[in-house]
Amino acid sequence: MSEIESAMSTPPRTIGQELMSEEGARRVRRRYRADARFRAYGIIAICIALGVLAILVGTLVSSGYTAFVQTQVRVTVDLRDADIDPADVRAANWRGIATGAIESLFPDLPQSDARVMRDMVSQGAPFIIRDAVMDDPALIGTVFDIEIPASDRIDQLNKGAIDRDSPADHRVVTDQQIGLFDQLEAEGRISTPFNTALFTAADSRFPELAGLWGAIVGSFYALAVCLVLAFPIGIAAAIYLEEFAPKNRWTEMIEININNLAAVPSVVFGLLGLAVFLNVFGMPRSAPLVGGMTLALMTMPTIIIASRAALKAVPPSIREGALGVGASHQQAVLHHVLPLAMPGMLTGTIIGLAQALGETAPLLLIGMNAFITAAPDSMLSPSTALPTQIYIWADSPERGFVARTSAAILVLLGFLVCMNAIAIWLRSRLERRW
Amino acid sequence: MNEATSHAGSVSVQHAHDVTGMPTKVHAREVTVHYGEKQALFGVSMDIPANSVTAFIGPSGCGKSTFLRCINRMNDTIDICSVGGRITIDEQDIYDPSLDVVQLRARVGMVFQKPNPFPKSIYDNIAYGPRIHGLVRSKSDLDGIVESSLKRAGLWKEVSDRLSEPATGMSGGQQQRLCIARAIAVSPEIILMDEPCSALDPISTAHIEELIDELRENFTIIIVTHNLQQAARVSQMTGFFHLGKLIEYADTGDVFQNPQHSMTEDYITGRFG
């Protein structure tokens, strides 16, 4: 205030004089300080964002990295006396064979400790041995070594998640089990290779056997359905609304509703899917097809809005140029506007799909959080999806699922980063200047 | 197409600036335009002679571009725009509901204020019109049209060796001549030019003006311009618009040297606008 008053009372000076004066120099300095402050705010904001991201990824990695390796015990299986019908390998007494093989690891232990011994390796041991023999029938009647995942507790002990020095009644492994583990390790039977089962196996009650393959396939099917439904419908709706629709109260109402739909919580779309697809149309529960349809409902508004923005960004001069040489409205749109808007449309679509990939609530409501131990073999067979698998694992009490939950989140984030990278690549690849 | 060439035969160079004997190409009677509630054009009537350059001048917002865009029905693309009155080209009412607006725009080409080449190759820019109208049967036909259009637009020497390069990489003046070539390629009878030089430097402007003078032999040209000297240089007829009305329409020489209306005189002498 006082500045303005003093400026008004003194005779007018030129800008040059103004800047030379003491007061002018002070003002310039103040402006520089304001500039620096403004820049600092921006840098601080970015640092905070990066810091939070680093904390998130750091937590996930630190708690999840152990899930990428799996403790395995090399077990010697003796099938010389086993009663196996080569025509029906499945029918043999695999439980007995597995128990025998495990017990032979600890010849010093009495039969009364059979349970302790069995608890050292995964309860899936009979099936793992059976599958190995079914894959290679030549093994019948021979003695061979096979790697079997250690049980969850031993796995945790090996990975150092269980403190040996804590009192025995505070930890889930007994002193005896620790002794047996040390014995196996001394014999060189313990190894910790990369956990391929995490990517190749479906869900399981036993964390050492559980994997994400079923969820990945389920998510893939659901996203494929979502893309096939939402992309053409969304693009067609956007082109019609932006290029052809008359501007009247009806189209205005449709526009408002599409914008509102984009803001509707995803759980509402899940309820809609449950009420319409499952209850009215009687479609199968937990199926990726239904999941994809529900996700398509959710993604469509995003695609429509992004596509309309892309169409709007095409300069009208291009459209007029085409109309000016006698192209019909449709030709102008298809030949000129659409190719220019395509990168933006594709980017919007991929971002919409990435959103759909991470969406949990609608899938919970249509039952894609079921416990399913096989990857789906079609779009109609029951399945989980990546986010719902994370939800299931996060809810499981076994120690091994803690790390696996984080690992699954990392896998999901990996897919999301890939999809966004594709969007960026497509945009830079297809974008043309005008 | 044939009409355009037959007109070309009737033009004699000596009488190039005398348009009194020319047949009327565009005939407008009591044309009104409304943008929603707002009236933009009030009863414009004029006869535009064939194979001549007609310039529309006037201050910004006077309705000259609006009237220009009525002649190829470009205003149809604006939802709230409604056109009244009657415009005929060669006696045919262009607002007749049975007339196909796409065919009309093939007969009445347009060049815009800002050069707007398609973000495609130079070749594809020219070839687009002939392709969509099915004017060509073979690749060599198309090559011929592209070459002759570029030659008539005075661009062939500059771009003949880089036809496959993107048109957006050319200079502004070249782009505008490309847009003219693109308009010529579909052999229109009339070419509308909406301030074609306003985004160009003086040298490019001179190029385009020469080009307009040459094109007059084969086409009827209607040009909107803010540049009075340009109107005086290139046109045979001049129409002065003000506040949506056609104030004066006469021979360019008369308008500039002997205006009948005081408002025209004020505008031309720079007293307003």
Burial class (CB in 10 A: 0-12, 13-18, 19+), A47: exposed
CB contact under 8 Å between A317 and B114, yes or no, is yes
Residues A243 and A277 in one domain: yes
Alpha carbon distance A37, A31 (integer Å): 10
| % residues pLDDT > 90 (chain B) | 52
The domain containing residue B213 runs over which residues?
2-116+189-268
Note whether B60 contacts A: Cβ–Cβ < 8 A.
no
What pLDDT digit, counting tens, does each position of A92-143 carry? 889 989 988 998 888 888 888 888 888 899 998 999 999 999 888 888 888 9
Residue B109 inside a domain? The answer is yes
The domain containing residue A316 runs over which residues?
213-430
What is the DSSP code (8-state) at residue A208?
G
Residue A321 inside a domain? The answer is yes
Model confidence at A5, pLDDT cuts 50, 70, 90, reads: low
Residue A208 inside a domain? The answer is no
CB-closest option in A321, A326, A434 to B186: A326
Note whether B105 contacts A: Cβ–Cβ < 8 A.
yes
Residue B246 inside a domain? The answer is yes
Going by their DSSP bridges, the two strands B53-57 and B237-242 should be labelled as parallel
Residue B254 inside a domain? The answer is yes
**Bridge partner list, B29:** B86
Residues A168 and A222 in one domain: no
What is the total count of domains within chain B?
1
Residues A115 and A90 in one domain: yes
Residues A345 and A402 in one domain: yes
CB-closest option in A317, A323, A335 to B105: A323
Sign of the CA dihedral running A384, A388, A394, A397: negative
Mutation target vs B (from A244, A247, A325, A330; most B CBs, 10 A cutoff): A325
Residues A246 and A300 in one domain: yes
Residue B146 inside a domain? The answer is no
Residues A237 and A187 in one domain: no
Q: What is the CATH number of the domain that holds B109?
A: 3.40.50.300
Given A16, A42, A66, which residue is the final one in a domain? A66
**Chain B residues in contact with A325 (beta carbon < 8 A):** 105-106, 109, 128-129, 132, 182-183, 185-186
Model confidence at B19, pLDDT cuts 50, 70, 90, reads: low
Residues A164 and A288 in one domain: no
CB contact under 8 Å between A325 and B168, yes or no, is no
What is the total count of domains within chain A?
3
CA distances (Å), B204 to each of A314, B147, B190, in order?
27, 21, 22
Residues A308 and A358 in one domain: yes
Note whether B36 contacts A: Cβ–Cβ < 8 A.
no
Residues A121 and A57 in one domain: no
Residue B98 inside a domain? The answer is yes
Model confidence at A9, pLDDT cuts 50, 70, 90, reads: low
Given A166, A194, A222, which residue is the final one in a domain? A194
Please give the average per-residue pLDDT across A257-278, as a whole number: 93
**Chain A residues in contact with B79 (beta carbon < 8 A):** 246-247
Residues A106 and A21 in one domain: no
Residues A57 and A93 in one domain: no
What pLDDT digit, counting tens, does each position of B182-221 carry? 999 998 999 999 999 888 888 888 988 998 998 898 899 9
Residue A201 inside a domain? The answer is no
CB contact under 8 Å between B112 and A321, yes or no, is yes
Residues A35 and A83 in one domain: no
Residue B167 inside a domain? The answer is no
Which pLDDT value is given to residue A83? 80
Which pLDDT value is given to residue A220? 95
Residue B223 inside a domain? The answer is yes
CB-closest option in B103, B118, B166 to A321: B118
> ipTM value of the model?
0.83
Residue A206 inside a domain? The answer is no
Residue A204 inside a domain? The answer is no
Note whether B109 contacts A: Cβ–Cβ < 8 A.
yes
What pLDDT digit, counting tens, does each position of A365-375 carry? 999 999 998 89
Mutation target vs A (from B1, B75, B76, B77; most A CBs, 10 A cutoff): B77
Residue A159 inside a domain? The answer is yes
